[in-house]
Structure formats: C-alpha cells, structure tokens
Amino acid sequence: AARALARQDLAGERILVTAGPTLEEIDPVRFVSNHSSGKMGYAIARAARRRGAEVVLVAGPTCLDDPWGIETVHVCSAAEMRDAVMARVAASTVIVKAAAVADYRPKSRSAGKIKKSADALVLELEKNPDILSELGGVKGDRVLVGFAAETCELVENARKKLAGKNLDMVVANDIGQPGAGFHVDTNIAKLLYRDGRVEELSLMGKDEMAAIILDRAAELRKLGMR
C-alpha cells in the first residue's frame, strides 16, 4: 500500500546509485576494503524506485538483499565498479555515488595464498581510478551527487571535493560522530551546493535522509532543465 501511495515525482528520471565498499584482493584469501555497509546507498535506491524513477544500483559486497524492482549490478573491486558505472552513464539523468571506493589496491595480486614467513610484511598499494572525478568530467546536464567521509575539517574538505570533482551536491558525513558512523541505520550530514550553501541535517534515519537527498537532487534537476 505504501508503494502505491508514494508520490511518483521521480517518474521519467533514470537514477544510477553506487553503494557499499569495494574489495581489493591481495591473494585468494585476503583483501583490502573498508567499513561501508551499503545502507545509505541502498536506502537511496529504494526510495528513488518508490518515487517512480528507473533505478540501477551498482553495489560492492554488502550483506543487504537486492532491492525490489531495481536492476542491481554486483561488483567487487574499484576497477569493476568503474567499468559498471561508466557503461551506464549515458542512460542516466541523476548519479548518486554513495559507495566507499577503496582509494588503493594491491599493486599485484598473488595467484597463490601468501604464506607467513618473515616477521614483517610490506604490502605495496597503487591508486585506484577516481570514478567520481571521471563522472564529473563527462556529466553534461546530469545531476551528480557525491559523498564525503571526513574525520576533521568536514566542510572545508567536502567543499574541495565538490569543486575538484565537478559535483552539484556533496553529502558530507562526519564519520567521527556517534550516529553517523558505519553499519548504523542513522546518519548526520551536511549538504553542500555549488553556490556555497551548506544545509545541516540533524541525526535521522538513513531512509529519511535518502528522501531529502532525492528531494534536493530533483530540485537541482529542475533548475538545470530550465
């Protein structure tokens, strides 16, 4: 019933959402990753679908079920996420990059399990492609929403990401605050816009925050189409 009652204000929009961490393999047993649960991105994907958008979700490894009515593309590494996302840019009108992409990956993946021998082991990492920056370069009139996870200088750092990656909006998370960290169902964020505005969102559920993020993305879309 809730689904039938939802306002279909995003009908006609094609929304590409990324969620979860990426996982970079060291050997067949081990990997480098991060604490992202995927909950924020999945909440955005579900809410967008309920409101009538066509949604594609590109998801790193999470414990979450595929959402109803949404094409979910499962990826593992940042390189795979990049390819899955770039293949779907042309068909999208709004892109929300909630995924916590691993910044680095092991320089080489060992085909066999690395055996323990020396007392210390040095792992060499190389930089992953920055998917969001690449999207910023080809965005055209699409609305591009990025996230920023920070432990200090939240607004300043998030502003740099907004400008540097050519975004329309940044959802800045202070991951040090209780209620805004990983794996929880709540979040605290500031929304930053190109015109310099900063909108503070108080502690709320991720579903509620997803609704606000989509409201703002829809407004930005209308402004861009004028």
Query: What is the torsion angle, in degrees rounded to the nearest 10, for the CA atoms of residue 6, residue 11, residue 13 and residue 17?
Result: 30
- Residue 113 or 194 having the CB closest to ligand CTP: 194
Instruction: Say whether residue 130 binds ligand CTP (CB under 6 A).
Output: yes
Residues noted as catalytic: 34
Contact 218, 52 (CB under 8 A): no
Tokens of 62: 């999470």
- Residue 11 or 90 having the CB closest to ligand CTP: 90
Q: Among 83, 103, 207, 215, which residue interacts with ligand CTP (rule: CB under 6 A)? A: 103
Instruction: Say whether residue 136 binds ligand CTP (CB under 6 A).
Output: no
> Distance between CA 144 and CA 182 in Å, rounded?
23
Residue 97 binds what, of Ca ion, ligand CTP, none (CB under 5 to 8 Å, by partner type)?
Answer: ligand CTP
Q: Which range in 113-121, 128-136, 197-205, 217-225 contacts ligand CTP by CB under 6 A?
A: 128-136
DSSP 3-state percent helix, strand, coil across the chain (nearest 5): 30, 25, 45
Give the total residue count for the chain: 226
Instruction: Say whether residue 101 binds ligand CTP (CB under 6 A).
Output: yes
What is the smallest separation between the CB atom of 98 and ligand CTP, expressed in angstroms?
A: 7
> Distance between CA 200 and CA 223 in Å, rounded?
21
Applying the rule CB under 6 A, the residues between 30 and 89 that interact with ligand CTP are 78
Q: Which range in 52-60, 98-106, 115-123, 198-206 contacts ligand CTP by CB under 6 A?
A: 98-106
Instruction: Say whether residue 187 binds ligand CTP (CB under 6 A).
Output: no
Residue 132 binds what, of ligand CTP, Ca ion, none (CB under 5 to 8 Å, by partner type)?
Answer: ligand CTP
Whole-angstrom CA distances from 106 to 2, 52, 121, 132, 133 are 45, 40, 13, 21, 21
Print the binding letters for residues 146-185 with ligand CTP: x by CB under 6 A, - otherwise: xxxx-----------x------------------------
The 8-class DSSP code of residue 222 comes to H
> Distance between CA 45 and CA 105 in Å, rounded?
27
Query: 112-135 burial string, b = 16+ CB within 10 Å, else e?
Result: eeeeeeeeeeeeeeeebeebbeeb
What is the smallest separation between the CB atom of 212 and ligand CTP, expressed in angstroms?
A: 17
Binding-site sequence positions? 103, 113, 129-132, 147, 161, 165
Q: Which residues bind ligand CTP (CB under 6 A)?
A: 78, 97, 99, 101, 103, 128, 130-132, 146-149, 161
Q: Which residues bind Ca ion (CB under 5 A)?
A: 103
